[in-house]
Amino acid sequence: MIAIMAMIYSFSAQNAEVSGGISSGLTEKLVAPFTPIPPFTLEERMEIVYFVSGIIRKLAHFFSYAALSVSTVSFIDCYQRGQKTTVGISLLICLLYAISDEVHQLFVGGRSGQVSDVVLDFCGAVVGVFFFYGVRALWRKRKNEETKGTK
């Protein structure tokens, strides 16, 4: 949980130029095979890269907080507080961290905090919690079936 928070913090601490360069570089590598230069002008290709880069950035938000919520809910679940309490505490931690992350970005050069990113982060956290409990339910069901089969 702490490692994922540190990763999120380190990405948020990058100024806009560095962050944008990383996103654009990754996007360029992903888009290049699908947008050969002849059918597209350079301007059209850059528009595609910019568009896809935005999607990648939003997916990074979503999946970072999904991973954070999985690690948070699994940590809190160890204390056997009950599922509702565990989910509530986990989502609250993720929400507060998302808010603090966007506030942090207000102090980083060229970056801005956005409420829409907090909402996206929280949606990722909710999906992460559902993923955790879904996988756990499947694992328990399979374990119970194996136990019944050995008796």
Long-range contacts of 132-137 (CB under 8 A, 24+ apart): 132/69, 132/70, 132/73, 132/74, 133/73, 133/83
Name the residue with higher pLDDT: 54 or 95: 95
Nearest to 134 by CA among 69, 61, 64, 58: 69
Number of domains in the chain: 1
pLDDT in tens, 89-98: 999 999 999 9
Domain that holds residue 72: 2-150
Instruction: Give the tens place of pLDDT for each residue, 6-48.
Output: 999 999 998 878 877 777 777 777 777 766 666 677 787 778 8
**Does pTM surpass 0.95?**
no
* Between 51 and 120, residue with greater pLDDT: 120
> What pLDDT does residue 93 have?
97
DSSP annotation of 79 reads: T
The stretch 135-151 carries a mean pLDDT of: 84
Q: Specify the pLDDT at position 38.
A: 64
The CA-based dihedral angle spanning residues 90, 93, 98, 99, taken in that order and rounded to the nearest 10 degrees:
140
Residue 144 CB burial class (10 angstroms; 0-12, 13-18, ≥19): exposed
- Span 114-123, average pLDDT: 96
Note whether 52 and 30 are within 8 A (CB).
yes
Q: How many residues does the chain have?
A: 151
pLDDT at 143: 87
